[in-house]
Amino acid sequence: MNITLRAFIKKELTQTLRDGKMRALLFGAPIIQMTIFGLALTTEIKNIKLAAFSQPGDAMFERVTEGFYSSGWFARAAHAAVEDPFELIASGRADAVLIAPDGGLARSSERGDGKMQLLVDASNATKARAVEAYSKSIIAAAAVREYGASGEPAIQFDVRVLYNPAMESSMFLVPGVMGMLVCLITIILTAMSLTREREIGTFETIVSAPLSNAEVLLGKTVPYVVLGIADAALVVAAGYLIFGVPVRGPLWQLALVALAFVINTVSIGTFISTVSKNQQQAMLGGFMFLFPAILMSGVMYPVENMPGAVIAAAYLDPLMYFVRLLRNIMLKGGDSYVLWSNLGALLFMAAFTAALAYKRFRQTLN
């Protein structure tokens, strides 16, 4: 490796790792965040408030409902006999409402056209996911009880998820959090490190050495690409070891995707440093990029549910591609169409942001 690049990597890593605050940001924050999300992931939901609505004399529905209450997961929600089920959920007095089909459950099951309805409050996605899973197993057990092992005709029910139709699960959140952390750390670190050198004046010494602009830029950015990838590896390992978040796809795909993403963020960090006069501005600039990038990335809210203009903007968000790729590789085992189309987009953006960063960087040297 080039002597200069090696010297830069050694220097930047030494400085970053020697600083206690930086160490906390690099290694402490990811573990804490992962722990918080990991705990959300493993919390068992109990005492779900369930209300049931049926016509009088629907014995089969009564038995199914009793199955819910005796499972230990559900508790009776207090309500009047005639009340709007939606109102019950909106007011928070019930987390889920079970509604019998017209004419009774037994008759509609035999006909095969009527369905029992379950309304679920998914403003808390984890809870909603639990309600759905518990309900399915209770209904399946009820079907076996009513009709025998064949379960024919089975009792069907129609789940309507309210407030959060995409119903994100925490498992789904973890790769998103990984993407978010790598994004935050690489952008802030790169922008701060470059601005800091300019601010304290050591940058003058670097540019007085007989180096090309590209060498200076690579020297100041490659160390943060290395740190970013190391951090991504740390987060994946923490997710896997502590909470069992799987990596179903090959690791080389994960590494390649992380590299493509980190080139984007380090370039963006460099760009931010060229428009910042001091470290505070660089920090602010970093967050000005990060907040919309995180909101549009699909980490917390599905991109598909956003208004058209925001979806269009989300397609310019490297974090969106990265999170998609992480979920695809880690949870689904790496579908090759998803991989190459999103990786292609990420690499294209990397080329663009790197070129832009290089251009701005060169302009601000003199």
Partner 1 sequence: MSGACILEVKGLSIKFGDFTAVDNVSFCVDRGEIFGFLGANGAGKTTTIRMLCGLLAPTSGSALVGGLGFEDGGLGIKKIVGYMSQKFTLYNDLTVGENLDFAAGLRKLEPAYAKKRRKELFELIAFNKPLSSMVSSLPGGIKQELALAAAMLHDPEIIFLDEPTSGVAPASRARFWALIRRITGLGKTVIVTTHYMDEAEQCGRIALMRAGRLIALGSPEELKKSAFSGPMAELDFKGTEAASFISGLEKARGLLELSPHGMRWHAAFKDKAAMDAALAALPASASAALIRPSLEDVFIRLVEGAER
DSSP string spanning 81-93? Answer: SS--HHHHHHTTS
CB of 5 to partner 1, least distance (A): 8
* Of the candidate residues 78, 90, 209, 242, the single one contacting partner 1 (CB under 8 A): 209
Count of residues interacting with partner 1 (CB under 8 A):
24
DSSP string spanning 191-257? Answer: HHHHHHHHHHSHHHHHHTSS--HHHHHHHHHHHHHHHHHHHHHHHHHHHHHHH-----S-HHHHHHH
Stretch of 43-51, 209-217, 235-243, 282-290 contacting partner 1, by CB under 8 A: 209-217
Q: How many CB atoms lie within 10 A of CB 319?
A: 28
Is the CB of 207 or the CB of 251 nearer to partner 1?
207
Question: Cα–chain-centroid distance for residue 315?
Answer: 16
Q: How is residue 79 written in tokens?
A: 């309500």
* Of the candidate residues 6, 76, 160, 359, the single one contacting partner 1 (CB under 8 A): 6
CB of 203 to partner 1, least distance (A): 9
Is the CB of 200 or the CB of 251 nearer to partner 1?
200
Residue 226 found at the interface with partner 1 (CB under 8 A): no
* Of the candidate residues 75, 211, 255, 259, the single one contacting partner 1 (CB under 8 A): 211
Q: How many CB atoms lie within 10 A of CB 348?
A: 12
Is the CB of 26 or the CB of 98 nearer to partner 1?
26
Report cis status (omega within 30 of 0) of the bond before 101: no
Question: Of 293-332, which residues contact partner 1 (CB under 8 A)?
Answer: none
Residue 36 found at the interface with partner 1 (CB under 8 A): no
Stretch of 27-35, 210-218, 225-233, 255-263 contacting partner 1, by CB under 8 A: 210-218
CB of 7 to partner 1, least distance (A): 2
Residue 208 found at the interface with partner 1 (CB under 8 A): yes
- Classified as helix, coil or strand, 120 is strand
* Of the candidate residues 59, 90, 133, 200, the single one contacting partner 1 (CB under 8 A): 200
Provide the edge-to-edge strand list for the sheet that holds 116-121. Answer: 74-76, 48-53, 96-99, 116-121, 157-162
CB of 277 to partner 1, least distance (A): 15
Residue 57 found at the interface with partner 1 (CB under 8 A): no
Q: What angle do CA 84, 85, 86 make, to 5 degrees?
A: 90
Residue 156 found at the interface with partner 1 (CB under 8 A): no
Q: Which residue do the tokens 């399946």 mark?
A: 140
CB of 213 to partner 1, least distance (A): 9
For the chain, the distance separating the N- and C-terminal CA atoms, rounded to the nearest angstrom, is 28
> Which residues of the shown chain bind partner 1 in the complex (CB under 8 A)?
3-4, 6-8, 10-11, 14-15, 18-19, 200-202, 204-212, 366
